[in-house]
Amino acid sequence: MIVRISGEDQYRLADEDMPRLNELDNAVVAACDGGDEQAFAESFATLLDYVRSHGTRVGDDELEGSDLILPPADLTLAEAASEFTGEGLIPD
């Protein structure tokens, strides 16, 4: 699976990472639903950090389509509220 973080890079993650990505995505959705700015900032940063640390960066010379595009790291709660709803960005 290829995950792009907008404004950054693409990362190749194993299929085994999907359940954890889904858990992290659900935490972001819960923070958005609760309007909790601090919980959102922490859970979204954890999601992005997981992708960066568990994924292998796709080289600049490789052309790969992204299976999932995550918003940029500077996303605000107000902006996230329209993206992280229901099942979030990663469907169950």
Cβ-proximal residues to 79 (8 Å cutoff; 6+ apart), any chain = 71
Whether the per-residue pLDDT at 90 is higher than 80: the answer is no
- pLDDT tens per residue, range 13-64: 999 999 999 999 999 999 998 999 999 999 999 999 999 999 999 988 887 7
Whether the per-residue pLDDT at 91 is higher than 70: the answer is no
In a domain, 58, yes or no: yes
In a domain, 90, yes or no: no
In a domain, 91, yes or no: no
In a domain, 87, yes or no: no
Count of the separate structural domains present in the chain: 1
Cα 41 to Cα 49, 53, 57, distances in angstroms: 12, 18, 23
Which range marks the domain in which residue 52 is found? 2-80
What is the structure's pLDDT at 80? 85
In a domain, 53, yes or no: yes
Whether the per-residue pLDDT at 4 is higher than 70: the answer is yes
